[in-house]
Chains A and B, each alone.
Chain A
Amino acid sequence: MTLDVRQRTDSASIEAQWFLAMAWPSIALPRVMDATHFGPTDWFGAWRTCVLACVGLCALFGALSTYMHAFAWAAGTDATSPQFARYWLSLLVGELACVGVGTVGWWAWLVRSGRSIPASVTHSEEVYRIAVFWGLVGATSVVLYFMASFFVNADGAWHQTTVRDTAFTPPHIVMFYGAFPLGITMSVGTALYGITRLTKIYPASSGFPWSFFLLIGASVTEMMQVALNEWGHSVTITEEIFSAPFHWPFVIYAWLGVAIFALWIETLVRLLSIEKGLADLGTEG
């Protein structure tokens, strides 16, 4: 498969006109740049989203994991006990409420604010948005790690030492009802950002991007697989074998998630196109 990473035009004058048109000023970036004094590719400029989101998510999941280590054995082995309700069911409700409210709020803000953003932007602003987009993709990658590796190991270790008496075991509450919903939050939110802010890459006329569809499909099917997992355990009680066949559909997430590379490649193609255009013109946007 060959990727045309340099979008060529036959006429240099057409390209120059196109770049001048692209340089139409907008409001958003100058406001941001004036306020921060950082360029679109400075660590404290657009990359701030990446750093804050990734570090913040690692801190969140680290805190949840520390809580799990501290209270799983002390209050999480008997689902009928008052301690279980106090320490674990309250966490379950809190997670679902926070993730639900946060998700709806973030998605609504992305859609509403996206409608008021000018379609024509400077190259500097477009690069800024691509860097923010990479930050969201990176944060999605971080969430997918905690979904599919970090807490999966905790869950496997837990089931090898305790036999479940509920579908809401401590690792399940952290993983299935904390990390998994956040995977949907991040993948859909990243798609909304791309569709509303990166209209040169994801124009409405091209339809809904396959890359987003597959990545969202990965996180959604992972959440849906929880239902099959719990039903399977209730039927066969295969506590002992981790590689049991009804666990296999969990791998669909990882395989569909490979579409995350399509997001990086699509935006990189556009970045290279901007760079080439600027180099040809000998100027910056």
Chain B
Amino acid sequence: MYLDRKWDIVFWITAAFFVGAAADITRLLFAGDWDFWVDWKDRQWWPILTPFATIIIPSAIQYILWAVWRLPIGASYTAACLFLASWVGRVYQWQDFVNYPLTLIWPATVVPGAILMDFILLRTRSFVLTSIVGAMVWTLAFWVANYIPLAAYLQPVQFMGHVLTVADVAGIEYLRTQTPEYLRQVENGTLRSFLDQTQYVSLVFGSTVAVGGYWIGQALARFIALWPVGRGIKRL
């Protein structure tokens, strides 16, 4: 017979290129700036925009792999592909090409949230429940997983007579076209009046936004990936 493991090997390896690229470009275009710079990783916008942007393609691949092959690994596979695509881009282009230090430009990870979301689908076998519970867990896991590497950069430091964070100092030292302070969409507005509740308010709102992102991914999988199977356009 003709079906052997080589088909699996070819599929998983070649699909990884597209899956990683699709996840990366979706994140770059909707939340790129917050993911590029350590001083943009704030409590106000980062936990809202990045989980929304990063859940779309994992949701689509999760649906495809579950609906066609009953494999509960779609989000995890996508997160792993995104991890590789992100790090290749940051190390080879951002660090090697234009010499930004990795401490300034490290990408956020979504791997823990993806594993949990796949687990929720496996247990519930429901895309509705996964969209609600899984997307919220996705956002919370995003914050927890990325707060660990971020915490060191939030330490206070005195710089030219002002108290800043280490992340702020890194952003000031390395000039970018984004350097002017008025360009930064970081902790602006009056949400800061909530003081230490800021991040929790953002996380709850980010969770609800991620539910919407999850269903965008579901629509892509259902109508762009699976609906066309075996269908042709009779008339253009």
Which residues in A have some Cβ–Cβ distance to B below 8 Å?
Answer: 1, 3, 40-41, 43, 47, 50, 54, 65, 68-69, 72, 123-124, 127, 134-135, 137-142, 144-145, 147-150, 152-154, 156-161, 163, 202, 206-211, 213-214, 239-243, 247-248, 250-251, 253-262, 264-266, 269, 271-272, 274-275, 278-279, 284
Contacts and interface: CB of A to CB of B under 8 A. Distances in A.
Given A209-B232, A243-B29, A261 B14 contact: no
B178 A264 contact: no
B3 A271 contact: yes
Interface of B: 1-4, 6-7, 10-11, 13-15, 17-18, 20-22, 24-26, 28-34, 36, 49, 57, 60, 64, 67-68, 85, 88-90, 92-94, 96-98, 100, 175-178, 180, 183, 220-222, 224-236
A127 B2 contact: yes
Contact of A157 (B4, B18, B49, B100): B100
B97 A154 contact: yes
A276 B12 CA distance: 23
22 contacts: A1-B222, A1-B227, A3-B67, A3-B226, A47-B10, A65-B92, A134-B7, A138-B13, A138-B17, A145-B18, A149-B28, A149-B88, A152-B25, A157-B97, A157-B100, A202-B232, A214-B224, A243-B32, A243-B33, A255-B224, A262-B228, A275-B3
A264 B224 contact: no
A141 B10 CA distance: 11
A161 B67 contact: no
Given A257-B18, A266-B229, A243 B177 contact: no
Contact of A266 (B11, B14, B21, B230): B230
Given A248-B30, A265-B229, A154 B93 contact: yes
Contacts of B2: 40-41, 123-124, 127, 271, 274-275
